[in-house]
Amino acid sequence: MKKNIAVFASGNGTNLQAIIDNIAAGRLKARIALVVSDQKGAFALKRAESAGINTLYVDPKGFVTKQDHERFIIERLKREKVELIVLAGYMRILSPFFIKKYKNRILNIHPALLPAFKGAHAIRDAYNYGVKVTGVTVHFVDNKVDHGPIILQGTVVVSAIESITKLEKRIHKLEHKLYSQAIAKALLGRLSVRGRRIIPGLRAV
C-alpha cells in the first residue's frame, strides 16, 4: 500500500511538482495526503489544488505560540495518517517539539553540498565562492538548521564560464530527481540512523 506523505512549501513549489509528477509516472510509490503552507499566495498551493491534493494553509500569526501553531498542523497530519514529512522550500524553522514528534520522519532538501553553504542563499553563495563542484543534499531534519543526517547527495560540476542562472537551473533539475529518490528510500524503511550516519538495511520509518 502507498504510504502517506505531507509536503510543506512556502513558495513556487517546483519540488512539490516534481514529486507529484514522479508519483503520477509511477517512479515514486507514495501518496501526497496533504500540502501545508504558511503563505496564502504560495504557488505550491495552486499546484496541489490542480493535482487534486488536499491543502492546508495556516497563518502562523493566528496562534499565540509557535507550539500552538505546530500542534494545529500535527493534529491534521495525524488525521491524514501522514508517515513522512517532506520540506520543500518551507521557510519556517520547525521547533524541537515538532521534530521530536516526527523523529527521523522529516526530510529537507538543500541546494548545496552540506555542510558547505547552509542558509537561504546557498546556490548564490557557492557560486560567488567560486566552487568547482556543488550540488544537492537531502537530509533528515534535526534541531539545527541544514544539519541532520544525510540521506542522499548529488553533485553538479560548475563550469568556469557558467552564469548563475544556468547553474540554478541545473541544481533545481537535480533536486527534482534526487528528492523523490530520497523519499523512496525513507519510505522503504530501510534506513537506520546511527549518530550522523545512515546505514541501509534497517528501519527508519
**Angle formed at CA 48 by CA 138 and CA 108, multiple of 5 degrees:** 15
- What is the C-alpha to C-alpha distance for residues 91 and 86, in angstroms, rounded to an integer? 13
Distance CA 68, CA 199 (A): 35
CB atoms within 10 A of CB 108: 26
Residue nearest to ligand GRF (CB): 89
Specify the residue, 12 or 95, whose C-beta has the smaller distance to ligand GRF: 12
Residue 111 or 148 with smaller CB distance to ligand GRF = 111
Catalytic residue check, 110: yes
- By beta-carbon proximity to ligand GRF, the closer residue of 38 and 175 is 175
- Nearest distance from C-beta of residue 100 to ligand GRF, angstroms: 22
Q: What are the backbone dihedrals phi and psi of residue 83, each rounded to the nearest 5 degrees, phi first?
A: -100, -25
- Report in angstroms how near the CB of residue 105 gets to ligand GRF at its nearest: 18
Residue 12 Cβ, how far from ligand GRF at the closest point, in Å?
4
Residue 123 CB, shortest distance to ligand GRF, in Å, is: 7
**Catalytic position from the list 69, 110, 139, 176:** 110
Residues contacting residue 27 through CB under 8 Å, at least 6 positions apart = 180
Q: Give the closest residue to 138 by CA, choosing from 95, 108, 117, 106.
A: 108
Return the DSSP state at 108.
E
Whichever of 12 and 192 has its CB closer to ligand GRF, that residue is 12
Q: How many angstroms separate the CA atoms of 128 and 168, rounded?
A: 13
CB nearer to ligand GRF: pick between 169 and 203: 169
CB of 91 to ligand GRF, least distance (A): 8
- List of residues 6+ apart from 185 with CB closer than 8 A: 151, 152, 191, 200
**Contact positions vs ligand GRF (CB under 6 A):** 9, 11-15, 88-89, 109-111, 175
In whole angstroms, what is the distance from residue 78 CA to residue 56 CA? Answer: 13
Which residues participate in catalysis according to the annotation? 110
